[in-house]
Amino acid sequence: MEEQQRRALRRGRARLVAALRVEPLWDPLEQRGLFTRPMLEELQSTGSRGEQARQLIIDLETRGKQAFPAFLSILRDTGQGDLADMLIQECESRPVPPLLTDLRPVELREDKQHKNVTPHERLSIPVQAESERLQMPSVPAWGSAVDKRSRDQYYEMKADPCGHCLIINNVSFSRDLGLSTREGSDIDCEKLERRFKALRFTVLTRRDLKAQEMVLELLKLSRQDHSALDCCIVVILSHGCQTSHIQFPGGVYGTDGKPIPIEKIVNYFNGSNCPSLRGKPKLFFIQACGGEQRDQGFVVDCDSPEEEAPGGSLESDATPFRVSLDNVDEPDAIASLPTPSDILVSYSTFPGFVSWREKSSGSWYVEMLDSVLEQYAHSEDLLSMLVRVAHAVSAKGRYKQIPGCFNFLRKKFFFMCH
């Protein structure tokens, strides 16, 4: 589908949602080959007529070059020619200037200033100069100048705000549970609030929630209408443990000591449960232990001395593996969930191992994540930045920790920076 046709569908979405009669469209959409029957059944399950219309218009953009003219023809055949005329007018109207005209790939040129530096010295080169040397675009400049290949390679991030970011910060736990107060977690929370606000997200923070309260907040977010947004982020700061799983390992505790599997949290936002986020990136950042093992590391040749272990303020977020005793602990309908797509779960540590946190500066993982996002969010994609985070965290302390991620993104993800 051409860019002006996509733009017409987006400009006309409000009127289409208000007036489009979807019931007569299903059979022609299948007969013209625009959608398969299973796809149409999924569309029909999204809710009210208006919700079905909204999701149909969103999905129509992905249905190929002939989708727009075929849709216009179907509208006329079903007595909705006024909506077809409206879309043609929107398609022929003058395009709005691209949102990010100042964010374009720079020309490749020799950078004499940094030509002879060593690989170690290159780590300290300012990000702007480095990205120019590599001809790396800060963020794809979405608009009429972006060709189809770019749209296939990168997630579009044009909305402002980009999306919602929910941060659940569990600090104080019931005393009889044997779960310590997570001192330093408020520092983590404040860092991530500032960082994601700077990255154009609407940030909502919730502190000290019981397991069922966490579930309700997550469900509330997943049931919102994200149609006008491009992304969704969930951050959980809590004690963690191992849990049984099929897709995503680990669990996080509510302040009442009841664990919620990460798998359950992620699946609240999948294509079936959150239709308005279908095809859009859903990012999860988990600062919690994956188990009780303490990684002593292994000896490698190194040019620099090993960093000293932090002092007595070092703590872990580990808790023992527990067999589920309550319905809230069990994932929902795991066997029938669709294959995850457009999902990335970033863990602070490897499954089964502890995750370290310092009272005075917060967790190693969040400290490095915040630092890397500050330096590189305008020039690198998310996966590249998470590799930087893993490298930085793995170099800390006497005990070792290695963050990692389960990545089911289909495209490169760049944050939208000012």
Query: What tokens were used for 284?
Result: 């999860």
Cβ neighbours of residue 156 closer than 8 Å, sequence gap 6 or more = 140, 142, 230
Q: Please say if 391 is a catalytic residue.
A: no
Q: Please say if 239 is a catalytic residue.
A: yes
Which residue of the set 164, 226, 239, 378 is catalytic?
Answer: 239
Distance CA 60, CA 20 (A): 14
Q: Which residue has the tokens 């309260």?
A: 213
What 8-state DSSP symbol labels residue 154? Answer: B
CA geometry: angle 358, 195, 370, nearest 5 deg = 40
Cβ neighbours of residue 281 closer than 8 Å, sequence gap 6 or more = 155, 230, 231, 232, 342, 343, 344, 409, 413
Q: Which residue has the tokens 């100069």?
A: 129
Q: Which residue has the tokens 């970011």?
A: 165
Backbone φ, ψ for residue 24 (5° rounding)? -70, -10
Q: Closest Cα to residue 401, out of 410, 391, 413, 415? A: 391
Q: Closest Cα to residue 234, out of 261, 277, 203, 259? A: 203
Element (H, E) at 47: none
Neighbours of 46 (CB within 10 A): 17
Which residue of the set 162, 231, 241, 289 is catalytic?
Answer: 289
Backbone φ, ψ for residue 225 (5° rounding)? -90, 110
Tell me if the bond preceding 161 is cis, omega within 30° of 0: yes
Point out the residues that are catalytic: 239, 289
